[in-house]
Structure 1
Amino acid sequence: MAETEREAIREATLEGLDAAARKGNHGGRPAVITDDMIHTMLRRRAAGEAVDKIRKDLIIPTGKRKGHNPSLASIYRALAEHEETQRYPDAVEQARVEYAALHQGLSPH
């Protein structure tokens, strides 16, 4: 009986998350690394500057940590995500098209 209740709660939670996603609401914290920050990091890294030195000049523009520097982990994560989008541009574009279709209530296929 407890297992059935757990499964019912799980299904209700997933339905709620799906409904929120259709409205454009997604969970999690907002990203602290902006596109401008990524551009700055890429430009300065190409010039041979160390990431730790670059980090000290970056300022988080919004949110709970507004005015602070992003962590090294956030910077490396953002750089990895950027590299991934550059590696598979077709997959990224397809995901954007599918998301837009889902957001409009259409079938992505």
Structure 2
Amino acid sequence: MAETERENICESTLEGLDAAARKGKHGGWPPVITDDMLHTVLRRRAGGETVEQVQPDLIIPTGKRKGHNPSLSSIYRALAEHEKRTVYPEAVEQAHADFAALQRVGSIPAQVAGSISA
């Protein structure tokens, strides 16, 4: 009985995540480093400044830490993500296209697709 209840809960949760993803809602915290902040860091690094020198001038605009400076690790993480997107844009686009094609064909169950996109 407990196992059946657990399966029902898992199924309902995955259906809810899938429905939210179809509406464009994705869970998680909002990003600390906004696009404006990232562009500021990139511009100032191109001018010869280090991340440690730029960090005190950045202010988090929303969320729990609104008004504080982002951590160095958050800045470095955003820079690494930006680097991945700029170095391999065709690979990212191809992966998205392949995933969408598999989802249309039905090779990927909707429950899995919803959990991956969330």
Do they fold alike, i.e. is TM over 0.5? yes
Q: After superposition, what is the alpha-carbon deviation per residue over 1:41-88, rounded to whole angstroms, capped at 9, x for unaligned?
A: 112222332212211011112222221111112111111110110121
- For structure 1, the 5+ residue unaligned runs are 102-106
The equivalent of 1:22 in structure 2 is 22
Structure 1 residue identity aligned to 2:19: A
In 2, Cα distance between equivalents of 1:96 and 1:70: 30
In 1, Cα distance between equivalents of 2:75 and 2:67: 16
Structure 2 residue identity aligned to 1:68: H
Q: Using CA pairs under 8 Å that are at least 6 residues apart, name the structure with larger relative contact order, 1 or 2.
A: 2
- Percent identity of the aligned residues? 74
Q: After superposition, what is the alpha-carbon deviation per residue over 1:17-63, rounded to whole angstroms, capped at 9, x for unaligned?
A: 01011111111111121111111111222233221221101111222
Give the structure-1-normalised TM-score: 0.78
Return 88-97 or 11-20, whichever deviates more: 88-97
Matched residue count: 104
In 2, Cα distance between equivalents of 1:40 and 1:96: 29
Moved over 4 A (4+): 94-98
Summarize the Cα distance change of 1:11–1:62 in structure 2 as closer, same or farther, 3 Å threshold: same
- For structure 2, the 5+ residue unaligned runs are 106-118
Summarize the Cα distance change of 1:20–1:60 in structure 2 as closer, same or farther, 3 Å threshold: same
- Please provide the CA RMSD for this pair: 2.6
- Relative to total residues, which structure has the larger helix share, 1 or 2? 2
